Amino acid sequence: MSRPSAHPLHLSGDLSLRNISELHTRLKQALAEHRAIDLDTAAVESVDVGTLQLLVSATKSAVADDRTLSLAADAATPMGRALVRAGFFTAAGRPLVTTLSSWTLTREAA
């Protein structure tokens, strides 16, 4: 869920190398216009490691520019599963990459 002061950036569909340039442009524009961005990944259908690398880079660049890029994903979604497979979180949601403290993995109640 977005913080009141954070701008939501909705991501959807297939996030892969085929459309990574478009995502890169959207991230740069959003971070240029807003101090805090909350990535909404609920509608993401698939995500590849290249996209995850872009999101890591954008998050670190945001921090270096005194901005925030937050990502929260449910463990049962494609984004959540990708974050676990890539080693960012344990299956229980424990973060494994301390430099990405603005990222969270949740487990929604069924």
Whole-number Å distance between alpha carbons of 41 and 81:
12
- Region 57-64 average pLDDT: 96
- Region 32-60 average pLDDT: 97
Q: What is the pLDDT of residues 1-29, one digit of tens each?
A: 445 589 999 999 999 999 999 999 999 99
pLDDT number for residue 107: 86
Spatial CA neighbour of 43 closest among 14, 3, 5: 14
**Which ranges constitute the DSSP H helices of 47-102?**
49-64, 78-85
CATH topology of domain 7-105: Transcription Regulator spoIIAA (3.30.750)
- Region 93-102 average pLDDT: 94
Percentage of the residues of the chain whose pLDDT score is greater than 90: 90
Please state the pTM of the whole predicted model.
Answer: 0.91
Whole-number Å distance between alpha carbons of 84 and 105:
9
Confidence check: pLDDT of 110 > 60: no
pLDDT number for residue 4: 53
Spatial CA neighbour of 37 closest among 69, 71, 78, 81: 69
